[in-house]
């Protein structure tokens, strides 16, 4: 929770803006708030509310928000090796709480030294902190956000939040190359329909990171891969 608190300075204004947008798009206040609980994905909620306001057909709304949220497949694939020891109930709960901000702090926590057996509690607390802040800020936006002056420029806080999340993870040349390629891809593919530019940017970042990592490995010989995470044997396991 302490790790997520600084990030909330960008999340809360984003929730306020969504609350205003949802009501202005024609959603009843309760439905605008309910979307934050059911969907729980800011980007998808923004696009969904805009399409609802434009009167877009239901299948188009579902397809568009699905494409926008495909990045969560990359997040989940990255976290899967660390969570494979959990029960299905835990995995369903953590999958629901998966967001950009929760992933950013959780993956860094998993990559730190130490046994991973109980690190999912960190993930749970990070996700619940974001969930509570998102629900509260959405409700505030629905009922109070219209009074916030547009000159405050709250929409830019989200970009600042993502910059703050990405920069600490740029620890080597491959990560820097991936970030630069994804950024350029997002800019040049911005006009693609259905927000497909997000997928183009993700593919460009992955490809650039793999190429740089591969060239570094070829220069040093075979890359040394870390052993997969295994759970430590507890005293009870040893006795069994």
Alpha-carbon distance values, 116 to 3, 102, 104, 120, 229 (Å): 18, 17, 17, 8, 7
Whether the per-residue pLDDT at 231 is higher than 50: the answer is no
Stronger pLDDT, 144 or 121, i.e. the higher one: 121
Range in 12-16, 92-96, 220-224, 232-236 the model is least confident about: 232-236
Distance CA 130, CA 66 (A): 21
Take residue 57 and report the two structure tokens written for it.
């057909």
Q: Cβ of 121: how many Cβ atoms within 10 Å?
A: 9
Whether the per-residue pLDDT at 239 is higher than 60: the answer is no
Of 103, 77, 112, the C-alpha closest to 4 is: 103
Whether the per-residue pLDDT at 234 is higher than 50: the answer is no
Q: Once rounded to an integer, what is the mean pLDDT over residues 181-201?
A: 86
Give domain status of residue 201, yes or no.
Answer: yes
Q: Which domain holds residue 189?
A: 170-217
Give domain status of residue 193, yes or no.
Answer: yes
Write down the pLDDT at residue 145: 64
The confidence band for 63, taking pLDDT boundaries of 50, 70 and 90, is: confident
Give domain status of residue 180, yes or no.
Answer: yes
Give domain status of residue 186, yes or no.
Answer: yes
The confidence band for 216, taking pLDDT boundaries of 50, 70 and 90, is: confident
Give domain status of residue 127, yes or no.
Answer: no
Q: Once rounded to an integer, what is the mean pLDDT over residues 118-147?
A: 90
Give domain status of residue 95, yes or no.
Answer: no
Distance CA 210, CA 181 (A): 12
* Element containing residue 38 per DSSP (H, E): helix 29-38
Give domain status of residue 98, yes or no.
Answer: no
Our CA dihedral for 43, 48, 53, 58, rounded to 10 degrees, sits at: 170
Distance CA 240, CA 232 (A): 14
- pLDDT, one tens digit per residue, over 4-51 is 888 888 888 888 888 888 888 888 999 999 999 999 998 889 888 888
Take residue 55 and report the two structure tokens written for it.
């009167």
Stronger pLDDT, 23 or 155, i.e. the higher one: 23
Give domain status of residue 197, yes or no.
Answer: yes
Range in 73-82, 110-119, 143-152, 210-219 the model is least confident about: 143-152
Domains identified in the chain, total number: 1
Take residue 20 and report the two structure tokens written for it.
């205003």
Distance CA 66, CA 43 (A): 11
Whether the per-residue pLDDT at 116 is higher than 90: the answer is no
Take residue 124 and report the two structure tokens written for it.
């749970």
């Amino acid at each position: 929770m302490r790790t997520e608190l600084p990030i909330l300075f960008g999340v809360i204004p984003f929730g306020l803006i969504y609350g205003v947008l949802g009501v202005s798009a024609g959603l009843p206040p309760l439905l605008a708030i309910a979307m934050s609980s059911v969907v729980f994905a800011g980007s998808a909620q923004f696009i969904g509310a805009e399409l609802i306001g434009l009167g877009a057909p239901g299948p188009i709304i579902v397809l568009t928000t699905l494409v926008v949220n495909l990045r969560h497949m990359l997040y989940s694939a990255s976290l899967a090796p660390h969570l494979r020891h959990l029960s299905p109930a835990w995995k369903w709960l953590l999958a629901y709480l998966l967001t950009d901000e929760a992933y950013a702090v959780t993956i860094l926590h998993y990559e730190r030294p130490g046994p991973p057996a109980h690190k999912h509690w960190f993930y749970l607390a990070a996700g619940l902190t974001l969930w509570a802040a998102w629900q509260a800020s959405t409700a505030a936006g629905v009922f109070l956000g219209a009074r916030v002056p547009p000159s405050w420029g709250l929409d830019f806080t989200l970009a600042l939040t993502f910059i703050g999340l990405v920069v600490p993870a740029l620890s080597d040349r491959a990560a820097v190359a991936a970030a630069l390629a994804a950024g350029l891809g997002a800019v040049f593919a911005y006009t693609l329909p259905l927000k497909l530019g997000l997928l183009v940017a993700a593919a460009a970042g992955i490809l650039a990171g793999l190429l740089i990592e591969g060239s570094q490995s070829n220069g040093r010989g075979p890359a040394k891969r870390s052993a997969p995470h295994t759970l430590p044997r507890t005293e009870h396991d040893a006795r069994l």
